Structure 1
Amino acid sequence: MSWLRALKHTARTGMKVERTRLEPLVALRAAVGLAIVIGFGLAFLGPGAAASSAFGAFMAAIATFQKSWRPRPVLALASGLTLAVSTFVGYLVGSSTGLFLALLAVWTFAAGLLWAAGPTAGIIASGNVAVMLVTVTLPTSVAQAAGHAAMIAAGGVVQALLIVLFPIRRWGAQRDALADALAAEADYARRLRHDPVCAFDPQPLMRARDAATVTARQARRRPAELHGARGLAERVRPVLASLADPAVGAPAEGPGRDRVRELLDAAGSVLDAAARAIRHGDPVRLPAPALAVLKSPDTADLLTGAPQRAARRLAALLDDVLETAEPRSGRLVAPDESMLRPTLTALVPTVLRSVRSELHPDSPILRHAVRVTAVACAGYLIGQALPLGHGYWAPMASVMIMRPDFSQTYARAVARFAGTLVGVAVATGIVQLAQPGMYLSGFLAVVSAGLMYVLMRTGYAVSQVCVSAYVVFLLGMGGVRWDQTVPDRVALTLVGGLLAMLAYALYPAWETPRLRTRLADWIAADGRYAAAVLGHYAAPADARRADVRTALLAARDARIDWQDAVDRAAGEPVRHRGLSRAAADGAGEAVAALGRNAMLLEAHLPDHSQAPVPGAAALAEAVRADTEAGAKAVRERGVPRWERVRALVSDEGAPVWGARDPGVLRAAGAQLLDALDEVSEALRG
């Protein structure tokens, strides 16, 4: 993609407005918290303290809207307290340009590195740096600086208290994640009726797993229906695939195939009913025809062998799903039986390890930290040198715009400037018409912030319209006229956006050259998953399903990393370096087929009492060795070869399988080889 096309693409992305489900009650609660701290500040402490507390409450509320499974009060407190510390320390050195620049560099570099801990930590840290640039200009003494820091922290405390006192849809995010996973499987079951080998995106299941990882305190309070259904959904998926696939399931045509289609449709109805019950906390309402199909005795006459076992297994699993999805069903799980998320203090060593792992020259996170530090310092100096006043707006805009990848940075730069232009124009018009005083300005600031909370997920440009109006009204509380701030804000926002875009162009972290590495990681992860499944066939008595589960999760992580990398690379102005778009698409489909074949084998894992399957150990070792070697070849821009697997599934490998030839497993090995050959063919083209 050329630079011109990339700029057009990112501009359209930045200005895009999405239709999404709004959360007006949550936004109202956040706006009420902001109104409380502004009103208290104006009534008892003056407009300066009111502005400080408003920034604390404003950023704390934004933190609670981030995509995180941690308790929302914890996010609000963390945001308010860290912002208070940043503001106070910033004021202590603010009188010296050199010392403040040094502090700004350290703070910004740390905020950039915190993206290694996830987007929520990165966004909160970046917001703290940006707001610190504003709030350090408000106090006039150390005592006032301490008071302003206390008010900022109080703003976060107020937002946290409101969440505790007025909870809205408890466990709503976790309910939605689990319901989305069940609904995705329902859709998968219906698609399998028409396409027995259709693909399934594991993202909803991974998101549900993240949502099911809780703190010890949450584990003691989690509703019973939120425990267990996710694990059952994980086990349903391979059974659905094995039932539908003609290679291991029912024949492609005939009465058996018709019954499979009926079973898949009934499974979709059951999973949808469970999803609705979990999402809303209502009793399960299931259409009677779906249960009749699943319990029909005719299935035993129409299906035999592996398809019949899959049909029975599916009916039993769906019964368990329905029982688990019923409100207040089952038992509350003890914390030591849950997937536990560490507390914020216990998370520190993990964050440090994540940051340490990014300290190498090719790391996108490290490059982002260097870029944002250089831009923030340069923007601050440029803002101070320009005869505009409010010079902090240039670095503030840059810090809020910049992200570790190209597309988001450029899209946000365009959206921020456009949103600022519209927002200040609207706010200026209101100010000129209404001539608001201190309290009316505070009220208009709260309304603007409330609109931003409601519309935050519709697009960055829309939220910036509201944020720009919020800042104009907030500064108006202290008597600052619009003509003293609006022109400066627009000009310096443009400067900050241009600096952010220029920095990425000069010191990029392109994803395109890393596509081969991402693909190699996925091949190796899928190979380890397939080998773990085959190892279960080789030694059923000693096998541990947890090993298969761990390998499956690693393969899913690698697949999601690959998909994210492909999406990011699609908008970059970089020619492919060894992996064209067509090759990437073809190789991705082939590796997905490799993982799917392993999943079909997982659906029929032998019990611990069964005898080892001849040849399974040799095939497991061949798959592991070939995929590791193939991944190495992909990283080195070569075409992988799969000689060990090919030798086993060919006629020359017949002695390995023994006298009792396991046709199903050998056929599965041939399917694995076909998928691997498709990977080589895609890379060769």
Structure 2
Amino acid sequence: MPWLAALRHTGRAGLRLEPALGDPYRAVRGALAVALVVFPVLTISGPRQATSAAMGAFIAGVATFQRSFRPRPSLALAAGFGLGVSTFLGYLAVSVPGLFAVLLAAWAFAAGLAWSLGPTAGVVATNTLTAMLVVVQLPVSVGTAAGHALLCALGGGVQALVITLWPIRNWGAQRDALADAYASLADYARRLRHDPHAFVDPEPLMTARHAAAVTPWQARRRPPELHGLRGIAEKIRPALAAIADPELGAAAAGPERERVRELLAGAAELLDVLARAIRTGAPPAYPAAAPATLAAPLHPVLHGPPLRAARRITALLGKAFGALEQRTESRLEMPLAGTGGVLQRPGLGRLVPIALRTARGQLRPRSPILHHAVRLSGVVTAAYLLARLTGLHHSYWAALTAAMVIRPDFAQTYSRGIARVAGTVVGVLLATGVVELLHPGNAAACALAVACIAGGYLTLGTGYAVMTCCISAYVVFLLGMLPGGVLETARDRILMTLLGGAVALVGYALFPTWETARLPERTAEWITAAGRYAAAVLAGYGDPAGHDPRQVRGALLDVRETRAAFLLARERAAAEPVRHGAHSPQLSRRQLGRAREAIGLLSRVSLLMEAHLPDRQAEPVPGAAEFGQLLARATAAAGAAVLTGTPADFRAVRAAQRVWAHQLDGLGADGPGPDGLPQSGPAAGAAEVVRAGSRLLVQALGELERAIRPSAGSAGSAGSAGRVPGLPVEQAHADRGGQVEAGDLGTHRDGQ
């Protein structure tokens, strides 16, 4: 996308408004907490101390509105503590010439590294930077620095107290995440009725998993209906895919297919009921037709793998309804004993060493988080120093604007930059006009500031421009209590906003982090993870007794995380003003789309096979584990081929699958096979699944091979690329795959 088109696209995105407002009760609660801090402090200590207290309460309130599954009071306390520390250090440094700029650069760098912990931590850390810039401009002695820092921290404490005393929809974020997962499964079941090869979006299940991780405080208070239902949803998903697939499930046409469509319709209704019950906390109400549809006799129509999948679906749905119906109000206050299946989220105290290790892990040259930290530090410091050269009293607004605009990716940075400038200009002009016309006193100015804070909380999801307008007006009213000309102050703030926004946008353009350049790496990680998932599933067929289900689960989580990273990188790359071929000449955007479909098919087939994994008492399927290992090595080599621009070669996998399928043919009939393999008993059903599944896996690999084939004339496009001279194809793949698995791809699982 050319630069002009990219700027036009991001500018429209930044000024776009969403029609829906936020939760008015939460907005009023956040503004009430600010009022409970600012008015008493104003009465007792005066406007300067009230400014510090209001800033702390407001930013702590912003932290509680972030997308996080941690307890809201803990977020407010953590934000208040960070604000207190940043304010205290800022006051100490501002009295020493030149030291504040050094502290500002170091704090901005640390705030940039905080993004490695997630967007919530990054936003809160950046807000502590803005508090340092605003509050330390107030002329006070070093002796009162601790008092201002305590007032900032007090704001966070009051926010936490108000949230605790006025709970609004406790566990609402967790309920919504789990309900969205069940609603997505209901939609998936309906789509499977008409498209047996439909894909399911794993994002709701990923979000539900993150929401299920609890702190020790949450574990003692979690409603029982939120414990265990996510695991049931994870098991329902492959069962739905297994019964609908024409290769491994019901026949493509005929009575069996019609019965499966009825089952899927009934399952969708029940899943919707479960989603509504989880979201609202109300008891589930059975629909009239769905239970009868699911309870009808299955065996006369269904048999084999479809019958097993149908029984599994009905059993899992019954288990989910049982979990909801068994809840009691008294159990809500009882501590829940932690089990091996509970996802533990570390408390704030234990999070500190984890955060330090995570941030230290980002100190590597190719880390985008490190790039963002360096860029944030440089941009904020440059904006601060340039603004000081102007001699304007409110020069700190330039650094504040730069800190709030800069983000780790191009689209957010430029859209926020344009929205920030527009919102600040409008907000400052409106608030300045009110001050000039009404001349409010300190109490009235505080009341107007609290009203603007409520508007900012309410419009957090409406658009950054509207929220910035409210926040700019709030700062004008808050700082308007201090001496100074109102019109001159408004002029200075607008000029400094323009300067800070320009420095941020130019800084990103000079030191960018292009997601386009990371697309090959993200593609390679997803390919490798999908191969490992298939290998883990096949290992369950090869050794049912010794197989560890956690290996399959871990591989599935890898696929989800790498898929999400690929899709995010592709979305961000689409808005960047960079030619795709400049950074990844071996794959075009069309090839990336085809590769996405091929990897999705590979993962879907593995999911279908996972749904039919045999019990521990079942007979092993000979050759399943070995074929899985070969497939994992081949996909790892294909991932390396994406990075190096060489063609992928799955001939060894295709040849091995043909030989293995011939061996498995003897497991489906009576009598001994030509190789002495058993031909009847429990192994026959599993052999039927892996025989069809391996054929689909090879088909997916063929589509992937064609999708990532380099264009003619590109480096490494020769057919012999990746071959070791003097070795057969199978051995060349084995050697190359082993080297890749040793760490060439750097594949990892974030947060799992």
Superposed pair shares fold, TM > 0.5: yes
Equivalences for residues 166-181 of structure 1 within 5 A:
166-181=166-181
Instruction: Report the Cα offset of residue 92 of structure 1.
Output: 1.0
Given that 2:178 and 2:230 are in contact with CA atoms closer than 8 Å, whether structure 1 keeps it comes out as yes
Given that 2:64 and 2:75 are in contact with CA atoms closer than 8 Å, whether structure 1 keeps it comes out as yes
Instruction: Report the Cα offset of residue 353 of structure 1.
Output: 2.3
Change in 2 beyond 3 A, CA 1:19/1:233: farther
Correspondence for 1:358? 362
Is the deviation greater in 341-350 or in 263-272? 341-350
Letter of the 2:612 partner, please give it: H
Given that 1:530 and 1:595 are in contact with CA atoms closer than 8 Å, whether structure 2 keeps it comes out as yes
Instruction: Report the Cα offset of residue 580 of structure 1.
Output: 1.6
Aligned match for 1:636, one of 644, 652, 674: 644
Change in 2 beyond 3 A, CA 1:652/1:296: closer
Instruction: Report the Cα offset of residue 96 of structure 1.
Output: 2.8
Q: Deviations over 1:546-583 (max 9, x none)?
A: 11111111111111111111111111111112222111
Given that 1:591 and 1:679 are in contact with CA atoms closer than 8 Å, whether structure 2 keeps it comes out as yes
Correspondence for 2:714? none
Instruction: Report the Cα offset of residue 413 of structure 1.
Output: 0.3
Is the deviation greater in 459-468 or in 348-357? 348-357
Aligned-partner SS, 1:421: helix
Q: C-alpha distance in 1, partners of 2:372/2:562?
A: 22
Instruction: Report the Cα offset of residue 21 of structure 1.
Output: 5.9
Q: Deviations over 1:408-446 (max 9, x none)?
A: 111110110011111122212322332211111110100
Correspondence for 1:596? 604
Q: C-alpha distance in 1, partners of 2:172/2:378?
A: 40
Q: TM-score, normalised by structure 2?
A: 0.89
Aligned match for 1:443, one of 430, 436, 447: 447
Given that 1:442 and 1:473 are in contact with CA atoms closer than 8 Å, whether structure 2 keeps it comes out as yes
Q: Deviations over 1:17-51 (max 9, x none)?
A: 12446211111110001111111121111011111
Letter of the 2:87 partner, please give it: T
Is the deviation greater in 363-372 or in 141-150? 141-150
Correspondence for 2:215? 215
Letter of the 1:167 partner, please give it: P
Q: Mind listing any 5+ residue stretches in structure 1 that lack a counterpart?
A: none
Correspondence for 1:344? 348
Change in 2 beyond 3 A, CA 1:191/1:636: same
Aligned-partner SS, 1:107: helix
Aligned match for 2:338, one of 332, 335, 339: 335
Is the deviation greater in 407-416 or in 664-673? 664-673
Aligned match for 1:648, one of 634, 647, 656: 656
Q: C-alpha distance in 2, partners of 1:630/1:518?
A: 13
Equivalences for residues 600-615 of structure 1 within 5 A:
600-615=608-623
Aligned match for 1:491, one of 475, 489, 495: 495
Correspondence for 1:469? 473
Letter of the 1:99 partner, please give it: L
Given that 2:21 and 2:459 are in contact with CA atoms closer than 8 Å, whether structure 1 keeps it comes out as no
Instruction: Report the Cα offset of residue 241 of structure 1.
Output: 0.5
Change in 2 beyond 3 A, CA 1:116/1:392: same
Letter of the 2:212 partner, please give it: A
Given that 1:281 and 1:327 are in contact with CA atoms closer than 8 Å, whether structure 2 keeps it comes out as no
Aligned match for 1:666, one of 665, 671, 691: 691
Correspondence for 1:234? 234
Correspondence for 1:40? 40
Q: C-alpha distance in 1, partners of 2:356/2:441?
A: 48
Instruction: Report the Cα offset of residue 171 of structure 1.
Output: 0.8
Given that 1:590 and 1:678 are in contact with CA atoms closer than 8 Å, whether structure 2 keeps it comes out as yes
Aligned-partner SS, 2:98: helix
Instruction: Report the Cα offset of residue 360 of structure 1.
Output: 1.7
Aligned-partner SS, 1:457: coil
State whether structure 2 residue 251 is matched by structure 1 residue 251: yes
Correspondence for 2:145? 145
Given that 1:232 and 1:321 are in contact with CA atoms closer than 8 Å, whether structure 2 keeps it comes out as yes
Correspondence for 2:564? 560
State whether structure 2 residue 444 is matched by structure 1 residue 419: no
Q: C-alpha distance in 1, partners of 2:662/2:139?
A: 82
Instruction: Report the Cα offset of residue 88 of structure 1.
Output: 1.1
Q: TM-score, normalised by structure 1?
A: 0.97
Instruction: Report the Cα offset of residue 325 of structure 1.
Output: 2.7
Equivalences for residues 51-200 of structure 1 within 5 A:
51-200=51-200
Q: C-alpha distance in 2, partners of 1:513/1:151?
A: 45
Equivalences for residues 256-655 of structure 1 within 5 A:
256-297=256-297, 299-326=298-325, 328=327, 333-337=336-340, 338-576=342-580, 577-578=584-585, 579-651=587-659, 654-655=662-663
Is the deviation greater in 392-401 or in 629-638? 629-638
Q: C-alpha distance in 2, partners of 1:428/1:262?
A: 65
Correspondence for 2:706? 681
Instruction: Report the Cα offset of residue 388 of structure 1.
Output: 2.7
Q: Deviations over 1:444-470 (max 9, x none)?
A: 100000011011012111110111111
Given that 2:528 and 2:639 are in contact with CA atoms closer than 8 Å, whether structure 1 keeps it comes out as yes
Letter of the 1:17 partner, please give it: L
Instruction: Report the Cα offset of residue 668 of structure 1.
Output: 0.9
Q: C-alpha distance in 2, partners of 1:124/1:17?
A: 24
Aligned-partner SS, 1:630: helix
Given that 1:227 and 1:333 are in contact with CA atoms closer than 8 Å, whether structure 2 keeps it comes out as no
Q: Deviations over 1:226-284 (max 9, x none)?
A: 01111000000000001111111111122221111111111111111111111111000
Aligned-partner SS, 1:288: coil
Q: Deviations over 1:598-620 (max 9, x none)?
A: 00000000000000012212211
State percent identity of aligned pairs: 51
Aligned residues: 684
Q: C-alpha distance in 2, partners of 1:218/1:647?
A: 53
Q: C-alpha distance in 1, partners of 2:258/2:629?
A: 38
Correspondence for 2:725? none
Q: Mind listing any 5+ residue stretches in structure 2 that lack a counterpart?
A: 666-674, 712-752
Change in 2 beyond 3 A, CA 1:524/1:130: same
Q: C-alpha distance in 1, partners of 2:660/2:434?
A: 83
Is the deviation greater in 279-288 or in 472-481? 472-481
Aligned-partner SS, 1:131: helix
Q: C-alpha distance in 2, partners of 1:326/1:446?
A: 44
Aligned-partner SS, 2:55: helix
Q: C-alpha distance in 1, partners of 2:560/2:497?
A: 40
Given that 2:534 and 2:606 are in contact with CA atoms closer than 8 Å, whether structure 1 keeps it comes out as yes
Letter of the 2:337 partner, please give it: A
Q: C-alpha distance in 2, partners of 1:412/1:270?
A: 42
Aligned-partner SS, 1:302: coil
Q: Deviations over 1:152-193 (max 9, x none)?
A: 111111101111111111111111111111111111111111
Given that 1:76 and 1:157 are in contact with CA atoms closer than 8 Å, whether structure 2 keeps it comes out as yes
Instruction: Report the Cα offset of residue 491 of structure 1.
Output: 1.1
Q: C-alpha distance in 1, partners of 2:47/2:153?
A: 17
Q: C-alpha distance in 2, partners of 1:21/1:229?
A: 30
Instruction: Report the Cα offset of residue 120 of structure 1.
Output: 1.1
Aligned-partner SS, 1:301: coil
Q: C-alpha distance in 2, partners of 1:617/1:34?
A: 61
Aligned-partner SS, 2:579: coil
Q: C-alpha distance in 1, partners of 2:367/2:381?
A: 22
Q: C-alpha distance in 2, partners of 1:327/1:105?
A: 55
Instruction: Report the Cα offset of residue 681 of structure 1.
Output: 1.1
Q: Deviations over 1:129-151 (max 9, x none)?
A: 11101111124112222211111
